[in-house]
Structure 1
Amino acid sequence: MIDYIMGTVKYIHTDHVVLECGHIGYKIHCPNPFIYQQELGKQTTIHTYQHVREDILALYGFENLDERDLFIKLIQVSGIGPKGALAILASGKPEQVVQAIENEDEKFLTRFPGVGKKTARQMILDLKGKLTNWTDVQLEFEPTEVEVSDSGLDDAIEALGALGYGQKEIKKVMPQLKNEETLSTDQYIKKALQLLLN
């Protein structure tokens, strides 16, 4: 398994980044690729999980080992695949997800795209009591200051679609997003996710 890749961030897309290492470009799917906006053209390290199936060979990337460990736990739950786990991590802070599982808060868990009542119950059944290492972990996912792009809102809308949100849901939060001062793509995404989860 590829544990991590250190390389240059070449491209950032709505659901993945391309990291060049040894003249090879690795396509790495991330919960929120735009967190690497400041690293564009620079060398960085991304912790990875290699997903292998008969018809799929994919790399998933994370800022730190704790985030990756939670992703691995989530995909072990029946009904949650890699894309679903990424959407959960992109939509909420890991410690919020863990807290909801420990508190058996089905209502909170079903706010995530692709998670219905059955899947939320399965998450609680499979993971409650097995995530105690998160009790004292405080991860910060506040958006960093990045160069603002005029297409920031458009890119954010595209990213929300990639995370599994429908046009109806996105349309509902558009007025609040347009009322914001000009933000970076990452900041628009974070704001939209806050609104969608309220």
Structure 2
Amino acid sequence: MIAYIKGELVEITDSAVTVDVNGVGYQIICANPFYFQDKLNETVKINTYHHVREDAQLLYGFRNHDEKTLFTHVITVSGIGPKSGLSIVGHISVDEFVIAIEEEDEKFLTQFPGVGKKTARQMILDLKGKLPFEIRQQSDQTSGQANQANQSIDQQVVAETIEALKTLGYSDRELKAITPQLKQSGSVNTDELIKLGLALLMKS
């Protein structure tokens, strides 16, 4: 099992980063590769999950150890594969996810791509009381947290999309003009929002 990769970040694409370790380039699939944009051509350490299947060996990367731990628990749920697990972990904080599970907030969980009511219920059954995290908010502060989580996701996805479009050469003025439409889309998928942003920019 490859627990982490440490080396020079040499490439960032819309789905992965490449880290050079002593002349060997490791491609690491990330929920939002552009999170590592400010580390390009610098030494990075990325927590990884080594996924082995019959036709491929894939590395999934995470911003920190908690995200990786959450991912390993989420993909144990029937109906949740690495792609869906990565999308979930990449667009929500660990605390928000734990709160949604513990409060059995099916509506919140079904907002992720590939998660329907049946899968959301299975996630709650499999993970409630079993996630190795302490919610860092006090109990009297947790009320309403899950209800606010969707807004947090929207804001994070829009911010990530804007950063990704900046790397493609678009100006702050151009991006500011389409930001309201990105927010109104309601998408929780960065890739989809980037495609929408590019379409809007092409029209402008």
Taking structure 2 as the reference length, the TM-score comes to 0.70
Query: Aligned partners of 1:152, 1:86: CA distance in 2, in Å?
Result: 27
Write out per-residue CA displacement over residues 3-27 of structure 1, whole angstroms, 9 at most, x where no aligned residue. 1111111111111100110101101
Q: Does residue 2 of the first structure (1) align with residue 20 of the second (2)?
A: no
2:181 pairs, out of 170, 176, 198, with 176
What's the counterpart of residue 38 of structure 1?
38
What's the counterpart of residue 65 of structure 2?
65
Query: Aligned partners of 1:124, 1:2: CA distance in 2, in Å?
Result: 29
What's the counterpart of residue 97 of structure 1?
97
Counterpart amino acid of residue 52 in structure 1: V
Unaligned runs of 5+ in 1: 154-172, 180-188, 194-198
Identity %: 49
What's the counterpart of residue 149 of structure 1?
167
Does the residue aligned with 1:20 lie in a helix, a strand or coil? strand
Rate the CA distance shift 1:97–1:178 in 2: closer, same or farther, 3 A: closer
What's the counterpart of residue 162 of structure 1?
none
What's the counterpart of residue 142 of structure 2?
none
Q: Does residue 87 of the first structure (1) align with residue 74 of the second (2)?
A: no
Quote how far apart the aligned CAs of 1:90 are.
2.0
Larger RCO (CA under 8 A, 6+ residues apart)? 1
What's the counterpart of residue 28 of structure 2?
28
Quote how far apart the aligned CAs of 1:132 are.
4.8
Does the residue aligned with 2:48 lie in a helix, a strand or coil? strand
Taking structure 1 as the reference length, the TM-score comes to 0.72
What's the counterpart of residue 198 of structure 2?
none
Query: Aligned partners of 1:121, 1:72: CA distance in 2, in Å?
Result: 18
Counterpart amino acid of residue 51 in structure 1: H
Quote how far apart the aligned CAs of 1:176 are.
2.4
Does the residue aligned with 1:134 lie in a helix, a strand or coil? coil
Map 1:67-146 onto structure 2 (within 5 A). Answer: 67-136=67-136
Q: Say which structure is richer in helix.
A: 2
Query: Aligned partners of 1:65, 1:79: CA distance in 2, in Å?
Result: 24
Q: Is the 8 A contact 2:30 2:61 kept in 1?
A: yes
Q: Is the 8 A contact 2:95 2:136 kept in 1?
A: no
Rate the CA distance shift 1:149–1:28 in 2: closer, same or farther, 3 A: closer
RMSD of aligned residue pairs (Cα, Å): 3.2
Write out per-residue CA displacement over residues 140-190 of structure 1, whole angstroms, 9 at most, x where no aligned residue. x9769x79435469xxxxxxxxxxxxxxxxxxx9752399xxxxxxxxx5x
Quote how far apart the aligned CAs of 1:93 are.
2.0
Q: Between Structure 1 and Structure 2, whose CA radius of gyration is higher?
A: 2
What's the counterpart of residue 197 of structure 2?
none
Query: Aligned partners of 2:170, 2:93: CA distance in 1, in Å?
Result: 22
Query: Aligned partners of 2:91, 2:4: CA distance in 1, in Å?
Result: 23
Quote how far apart the aligned CAs of 1:94 are.
2.2
Instruction: Tell me how many residue pairs correspond in the alignment.
Output: 162
Write out per-residue CA displacement over residues 39-68 of structure 1, whole angstroms, 9 at most, x where no aligned residue. 011111001110011122100111111110
What's the counterpart of residue 18 of structure 2?
18
Query: Aligned partners of 1:135, 1:104: CA distance in 2, in Å?
Result: 15
Map 1:46-61 onto structure 2 (within 5 A). Answer: 46-61=46-61
Counterpart amino acid of residue 149 in structure 1: T
Query: Aligned partners of 1:46, 1:2: CA distance in 2, in Å?
Result: 11
Structure 1 stretch 126-135 or stretch 67-76: which is displaced more?
A: 126-135
